[in-house]
Structure 1
Amino acid sequence: MQKRRLSDQTLTFLPHYLLSLLATLLMGCSTYAPERQKSDYPVAQQGLLDLRTVRFDQQLVPLNGAWKWYWKSLLSPGDRSPAFEYSTFPEPWSTQTWNGHPLPAYGYATYSLTILLPRQAPPLALKLPDFFTAYRLFVNDQELTRSGTPGTSPESTTPFWSTQIKFVPQTSDTLRLLLQVANFHHSKGGPYQPIFLGSAEELRVAIDREYALDYFLTGCLFMGGLFFLGLFLFGRHETSILYFSLFCLLYSYRIVGSDHYALHALFETARWSLLVHLEYLSLFVSVAVFVLYTGSLYPADVNRHVIRLLTGICLVFTVATLLLPPIYFTQLIDPFLGLMIIYIGYAFHVYWLAARRKRPGAKYSLMSTGVLLAVFIVIILKYFQIAIPENIVLFLGYIGFFFLQSLVLSYRFAFTLRQAKEQAEEGLRVKNEFLSTISHEIRTPLNAVIGLNHLLRQDNPRPDQLQHLDVMLYSANNLLHIVNDILDLNQIEAGKIALESVPMDPARILQNVVSSFQAVAREKSLALNLTIDPRFTPNVVGDPNRLAQVVSNLVQNAIKFTEQGGVVVSLTVDEQQTQTTTLTFAIEDTGIGIAPEKQQLIFNRFTQVDSSLSRTYGGTGMGLTISHKILQLQQVELRLQSQPGRGSRFYFTQTFPRVAAPAPEPLKVNKSVSGNKPLHGITILLVEDNAMNVLLAKNILSKLGATVDVANNGQEAVNMLDSTKHRLVLMDLQMPVMDGYEATRIIRKRNETLPIIAVTASLAQEIGERANDAGLDEVLVKPYSPGNLAQVILKHLKLAE
């Protein structure tokens, strides 16, 4: 049970909140029970209402009480008065009797009232509500207004509903009202709301305020519905959003199409039959949509059979409204209002369960349903004339309900976005782990392939064997290049790439790149040339590795798509100042070229200009993307000039800080070590669990003159290490029993200071921090060449001496 309780005190607070809200709404209602009428306002007696003592500048007066009543008569001024009775006004006909006989809701009648006014009164006006279903009002023998046309038959009666404010002509201190009412089109007949008499200015302001609130609320609901509909169509295709948008759009009509009938004031010539159909349909359909909204909002907390039943009932009411005339379908409103309590109660039950189960936004749903329940109780009280609420009360209730429901969807939307973000981050983490694992597993066998290839080359192979070795080495390096590109692209997109800032010589970097591609260019009979601006001085600061990577990718791309002619790599000085140097790097070819409309596509990952080029020229299409992104990280733009069939020119302009000291000589990683024994007399502890890599390392180290002891895991290395014998440790990092990190930490805790070199298939940037923390001196990434291994060992043995 403890798990089902909300962590906060929301559920404990809600009953008190809802009771307080209901009390607040009910306090905003003005009761018009008969006993209060006698004490608060003058009441008509036998067709006469004495208001001579009323201060109209301080209050509005309902014209309630006993009016003269002429059933089955539509009297006009001057007509002879037939038999009459005194009738309580306002009261529907179905609750009254004539000559002791109950009356139907259909028929026609005339009401008469004489009002005595004070001698000094401000300009007065009458507030006339809608009557069932048409009326005409005469004041002092002159027609003042009408709503529809009352008649003695359905054919002669034109129904219409509207709320009107009409100024009263004050020609005397007496008002004689003659009110004709007829109904042949609605299930209820006769007056059911009071007529108010009061200050014309106050009544005008009041009706304007009522209409303004109705129009404002309608506009809010309509625009909110359009917003959520757009969110559904163009954003998240979640059915709860669609249902709520439809609910807002449908219910917005009820605000102006019922109660005060603000919409009818704008369309006075509209057909009453159409308007009353829309009024009832908007209620039945909107409730059905709200049921579907509740079901889609918390599907795990609803009973699908109950949702179908409640929706089906609304659809039955809807079909009846569409097929039947108003005199029949208007009888459905009373039972439907009773059903509304069940509907709201079930929604409250669903949201209560959702809140207990901590569904997203459920507490807002629960509060909004409480608001809706209070609003509908007030509406029912008003409908049955038990209490008349202030308009602002219902306005605030509606605003509160729709605001809280909007919070529900907003919260769910934010919750879904947060979940999507977490899933994306988890997916990125899994992708990084997968790529890291794949990289390690590919580099490990490649280390043996490339390393043994180099060893075989040192054994003076026959020309045909050398050709096979060249093909093997090219294929292995090509696979390694693809793996490196994927990892580089992943690092760039994850924002984990780090840029160095060290002294360098861009000219020497270009020379090394051009030299490394000369053999490939010769195979295709292409000229590969380098031009350096004579004004260039080498003392600049930048990232030499990334510059070499960008230029290498561009040169490789140029050679790949050039069949004849050549490739020119150039460095041009654009501006050289005391603190900075601006250089332009360009790679120009005479290849196939690129059409203007496709020149931006080539910078997309895994993309080439034409899919057929992938089959013709091969490649993943990542080189240009990586170069483009690396330069973007340095706020540099990679640009292209190209013409189909005439070649392309890739270039970029970059500004480098200058330094006084010359750039250091780059390391020559492919230095040959054959023909000498630089490690003669040196014993090295090799910690490696892969048999192929053990064979490779032992062969390389033996050719260098070293003696090699082998440990298959970190635990063996810790037990075997003898600092009086071993001068250096080559430590693999991922091993069974004990990994290289733990073994190195244990060795360092014994105060051993000999060099420990990590030899791993993981990238240096992935393990850099862990390697430093463990006490490793350097990281050598697999696959390595004999020259790489020799250079690292000689470097650290020299430092250790």
Structure 2
Amino acid sequence: MKGRHYLIACSTLLLTTWITRVHAVPGKDFPMAAGGVMDLRGWDLSEQPVRLNGDWALFWHQLTFPPDTPKGSPAFVTFPRLWNDLGLPNKGYATYTLTVLLPKPSYHLAMQVPDCYSCYRFFVNGRLICSAGKPDTTAERAEPHWFNKTVNIPDGADTLHLLLQVANFWHSRGGPYKQMRLGDRSALFLETDRNKAVDFLLCGCLFMGGLFFLGLYLFGRHDKAILFFSLFCVTYSYRLIGTDLYPLHAIFPDLSWFLTIHLEYLTLFLSITFLVEYVRRLYPEDVNHRYINVMEWFCIVFAVISVLTPPSIFTRLINPFLIVMFAYIVYTIYVYIQAARHRRIGSSYALMSMGVLMVTFTVLNLEYLGFVGRTQWVQAIGYISFFFLQSLILSFRFSHDLKQAKIQAEQGARAKSEFLSSMSHEIRTPLNSVIGMTHLLLMNETRSDQKEQLEVLLFSANNLLSIVNDILDYHKIEAGKIEFESVPIRLPELASNIVAGFASFAREKNIALHLDVDPGITETVTGDPTRLCQVINNLVHNAIKFTNQGSVWLRLKAEGREAGSLRVLFSVEDTGIGISPDKQRQVFDEFAQADSSTSRSYGGTGLGLTISQKLLRLRGSELHLRSAVGKGSTFYFSLLFPIVSEPAVQVAPVPKTFPHPGETLVPPAAVHAQLTGKPTETTPAAERPLADVCILLVEDNPLNVLVTTKVLNRWGAQVEHAGNGKEALEKLNPLVHRLILMDMHMPVMDGYSATMRIREMGLTLPIIALTASVAKEEHKALYNYYIDEVVTKPFHPDQLLRAITKCLISE
């Protein structure tokens, strides 16, 4: 790392030396004026322009207009040279003259006339060629202006009599300070246009880059480093067109000189202030904040002075400010070296950028002080390189912030997933007790008023469970954890099961529930029956809920066959309240319903349609809606199913609520017949299908133990309880226990560890997992632990009985 820093420093020094030598002001190689005369008769002006440097005749405190000639004896002074350096006052007026002897023939010549402090008129052979401002003998009549011009020289002349009027009453410096150049007309005009174009290009790039980073700050992460770099770019961009060649003044020649001079110095002081603050924000761990504060306040004080004082005062600040600026650049390089040592983000690029900036500012100030000639292309390359390297730094910084934000978002998503999983478990556990005890009470002899109250309790508990399931499903879809199965199914039977599952709900509302299946749908197809049922259940349940009279139709129509696949159109029609056109898009939004009164009147989370839409989109389909207020709604979608010849899988419907209380999914008599192999009985013995079956219940929740034990005892089973996996291993007797009901989340030893220990002991008795988790991946993991069946809490008693029956029959 140290070697790289040394290499950068050496490269910077060598580049500065090379630029200084290449662009140094020539001496012997170019002709020089002497005694107010410059002899160019031996110079080919078409090959290379010449600088009109040397001794010009100076007439102090005279403003002579051709054809008059200056009075008195002139003083021959070096041109260009500030009055301050000649021992003259910085405020005043003067006339310069020079006679130029041209080679013959001299055609198609032009002259570059730069700005002076602070206004000038330029005459050639008695003719006014150009001017900037209005030189005069008093400040009241004079008018300052800065303007660089390239002007044509009359053809055919063999001698040029140059007369330059200069006046200054406002600036801390006075007189000419830039070189005049005489040469081929086309070459000089091309050079002038090219230089102005470069300035405008650089200004535009810097200004637009500043706006880009400002937008990145405002609409992205609010990184103050990005903000201050954008402010630096915007403020410094003015200096590219408002100084040196002053191309801005060529476009707006009437701009006030007093306004532009204030802007010229103010933008310099502010841009360095923003650059100082940018470095502080970029690497705050590596800067000396006290030193940075001093430099920043120094720049701010200079900026305030440039606003509040006249040019004659604040223009004196430039030399001390240049010293501060170089000190800042050196310190910034030190900061970047420290940042590189500590491996900060983009520190290597930062170090290179400051090296480039130091070279650029060095060359710029050498040109300003007159030690080198025009270095515009070097400056252009320097500015572009600096901006590019700084952009790389901020890009790395921004991408790093995005990466950190992504990591935090993933951590937040994991935390949310764990929270929802935990809350699901915590909610389902007490719900299991509520629903289980309600079922037990309904199994007993109850009065009609008690039965009605228990049914309301069960309905409410099931609705709460439905809300929990919706939230979990929505989270799984958003997290991209939804998996689709592909198993053989028969669509007519699936639709029939769904209609049967909602029959009691429709009867309660006195609504006719119909099924219309296209006779052409006869093939067995493959798909995910669980998710398909979930979508149709949501639609049918909503149709019944929002219909007060009339009917609900579930329709299946074959739309066509293509390449061994069947496309089916599913639609659910109702004669309910309908949805207004302006609200039809809203019903598919998360947690949204047509309006707030709908939620108050009918309840619900508003997630059912959202989940259905997202599930269908994952399958390449879309849920559509046709509706009219007061006339009903039709939700429809189409799916493409591959046709197979395998037997279909029978899947029980999963309605939004459990079956109506009193309905039995699996009659106990049928279970008894399956277990005993005897015909179905109607005797009391048939109501005890698990008679003489001893079950080990491993559960740590006392309420769940109570509910499960009473349900099993009602079916004739003998139940022994263990509070955790360790206790279960101690109580387990394979000669006595025919089956284990294992809760998976328990203290001391959980169900996973206990199950593994049982299987390691070589015991093969059935184990049914009781879990509050509904995640399919967790259920798959349970089967990997040699679990025979999984029952999700809260469970319907008949669901538990069906799982026990299946395990005991296959035992």
Relative to the length of structure 2, the TM-score reads: 0.90
Query: Deviation string for 1:653-708 (max 9, x for gaps)?
Result: 22222222442444599213263444445443332222222333333334444444
1:61 to 38, 45, 50: 50
Match of 1:490 in 2: 475
2:437 aligns with: 452
Q: CA deviation at 1:221?
A: 1.2
How far apart are the structure 2 equivalents of 1:794 and 1:203?
102
In structure 1, distance between residues paired with 2:651 and 2:274: 73
Q: Which moved more, 1:103-112 or 1:236-245?
A: 236-245
| 1:546 matches 2:541 | no
**Counterpart residue type for residue 445 of structure 2:** N
Structure 1 contact 295–304 (Cα < 8 Å) conserved: yes
Instruction: Say whether residues 1:671 and 2:666 are aligned partners.
Output: yes
1:715 and 2:726 correspond: yes
* 1:591 to 1:795, Cα distance in 2 relative to 1, 3 A: same
Q: CA deviation at 1:129?
A: 1.8
| Structure 2: runs of 5 or more not aligned | 654-663, 670-685
Residue-by-residue CA offset, 1:450-482 (whole Å, 9 max, x unaligned): 233333333333333322332222122111111
Moved more, 624-633 or 146-155: 146-155
Residue number in structure 2 paired with 1:690: 701
**SS in structure 2 of the partner of residue 372 of structure 1:** helix
Q: CA deviation at 1:751?
A: 3.7
Structure 1 residues 783 and 37 mapped into 2: Cα distance closer, same or farther (>3 Å)? closer
The equivalent of 2:82 in structure 1 is 92
Are residues 1:411 and 2:401 paired? no
Q: Distance in 2 between matches of 1:474 and 1:232?
A: 53
Partner residue in 2 for 1:24: 15
- CA contact under 8 A between 2:364 and 2:375: conserved in structure 1? no
Q: Which range is displaced more, 302-311 or 786-795?
A: 302-311
Aligned-residue offset at 1:113: 2.5
1:561 counterpart residue number: 546
Q: Deviations over 1:324-362 (max 9, x none)?
A: 333333223223222323443454455555555555445
Is residue 316 from structure 1 mapped to residue 311 from structure 2 by the alignment? no
Shift of 1:32: 8.0
Deviations, residues 364-420 of structure 1 (Å, cap 9, x unaligned):
444433433332222222222223352111111111222222233323322222222
Q: Percent identity?
A: 49
1:502 aligns with 2:487: yes
- CA-to-aligned-CA distance 1:274-321 (integer Å, 9 cap, x gap): 322222222223333334444444556666666555444434333433
Q: Which residue number corresponds to residue 69 of structure 2?
A: 79
Rate the CA distance shift 1:772–1:60 in 2: closer, same or farther, 3 A: farther
Map 1:503-522 → 2, pairs under 5 A = 503-522=488-507
Q: How does 1:267-416 map to 2 (within 5 A)?
A: 267-298=252-283, 309-348=294-333, 351=336, 355=340, 359-388=344-373, 390-416=375-401
Do the aligned residues in 2 keep the contact of 1:527 with 1:565 (CA within 8 Å)?
Answer: yes
Instruction: Name the structure 2 match of 1:154.
Output: 139
Distance 1:578 1:268, change over 3 A: closer
AA aligned to 1:27 is W
SS at match of 2:175: coil
Partner of 1:43: 32
Q: Which residue of 1 aligns with 2:683?
A: none
Distance 2:537 2:157 in 1: 104
TM-score when normalising by structure 1: 0.91
The residue aligned with 1:4 is none
Q: 1:32 to 1:74 in 2, by over 3 A?
A: farther
2: CA distance, partners of 1:206 / 1:288: 34
How many Å apart are 1:250 and its aligned residue? 1.9
Match of 1:6 in 2: none
Q: In the aligned structure 2, how far is the partner of 1:151 from the partner of 1:15? A: 55
Instruction: Give unpaired runs (5+ residues) of structure 1.
Output: 1-8, 97-101
Which of residues 590, 594, 598 is equivalent to 1:605?
Answer: 590
- Tell me: CA distance 1:37–1:615, structure 2 relative to 1, closer, same or farther (3 Å): closer
- 2:57, 2:77 within 8 Å by CA — same for their partners in 1? yes
- The SS at the match of 1:388 is coil
Give the distance between the partners of 1:321 and 1:470, measured in 2 at CA: 84
Distance apart, 1:197 and its partner CA:
2.6
The residue type equivalent to 1:736 in the other structure is P
Q: Indicate conservation of the 8 Å contact 1:582/1:656, yes or no.
A: yes
Q: CA deviation at 1:560?
A: 1.9
Q: 1:274 corresponds to which letter in structure 2?
A: L
| 1:740 CA drift (Å) | 1.6
Distance 1:466 1:116 in 2: 124
Provide Cα deviations, 1:67-123, integer angstroms capped at 9, x if missing partner: 222222233345265211221222111121xxxxx4201122222323334446674
Q: Return the offset for 1:431.
A: 0.9
User: Once the two structures are superposed, what CA deviation does each residue of 1:420-465 show, in whole Å capped at 9, x if it has no partner?
Assistant: 2222221111111111011111112222222333333333333333
Q: CA deviation at 1:220?
A: 0.5
* Distance in 1 between residues matched to 2:294 and 2:609, nearest whole Å: 61
> Pairwise mapping of residues 235-246 of structure 1 onto structure 2 (< 5 A)?
235-246=220-231
**Could you tell me how far 1:734 is from its partner in structure 2?**
0.9
Residues 522-541 of structure 1 mapped to structure 2, 5 A cutoff: 522-537=507-522, 539-541=524-526
Residue of structure 2 equivalent to 1:428: 413
> Cα 1:517–1:132, aligned 2, differ >3 Å: closer, same or farther?
same
SS at match of 1:461: coil
Task: State the match for 2:803 in structure 1.
Answer: 792
SS at match of 1:421: helix
Residue 744 of structure 1 pairs with residue 729 of structure 2 = no
- 2-structure distance, mates of 1:152, 1:683: 121
Paired amino acid for 2:245: H
**Are the structure 2 counterparts of residues 110 and 543 from structure 1 closer, same or farther at C-alpha, using a change threshold of 3 Å?**
same
Quick one: distance in 1 between partners of 2:456 and 2:511?
20
Displacement, 1:770? 2.8
Question: Which amino acid in 2 is paired with 1:16?
Answer: L
Contact 1:528–1:568 (CA under 8 A) maintained in structure 2: yes
Secondary structure at the counterpart of residue 322 of structure 1: helix
What's the secondary structure of 2:182's corresponding residue?
strand
Residue number in structure 2 paired with 1:3: none
- Summarize the Cα distance change of 1:350–1:615 in structure 2 as closer, same or farther, 3 Å threshold: farther
Alignment correspondent of 1:625: 610
Q: Hey, what's the Cα distance between the residues in 1 that align with 2:29 and 2:759?
A: 97
Structure 2 letter corresponding to 1:176:
H
Paired residue type of 2:212: F
Deviation at 1:632, TM superposition (A): 1.7
Q: Secondary structure at the match of 1:70?
A: strand
> Structure 1's 171 and 578: CA in aligned 2 closer, same or farther, altered over 3 A?
closer
Per the alignment, in what secondary structure is the counterpart of residue 510 of structure 2? coil
Paired letter, 2:49: L
| Paired residues of 1:351 and 1:366 also in contact (CA < 8 A) | yes
Preserved contact between residue 744 and residue 775 of structure 1 (Cα < 8 Å): yes
Aligned to 2:453, the other structure's residue is in SS state helix
2:217–2:223 contact (8 Å) kept in structure 1? yes
1:168 equivalent among 132, 153, 175: 153
Contact 1:604 1:625 in 2 (8 A): yes
- Matching residue's letter, 2:666: K
C-alpha contact (below 8 Å) 1:29/1:389 kept by paired residues: no
CA contact (8 A) 1:578 1:658 kept: no
Distance in 1 between the 2:114 and 2:6 partners? 37
> Contact 1:94/1:103 (CA < 8 Å) preserved in 2?
yes
1:215 corresponds to: 200
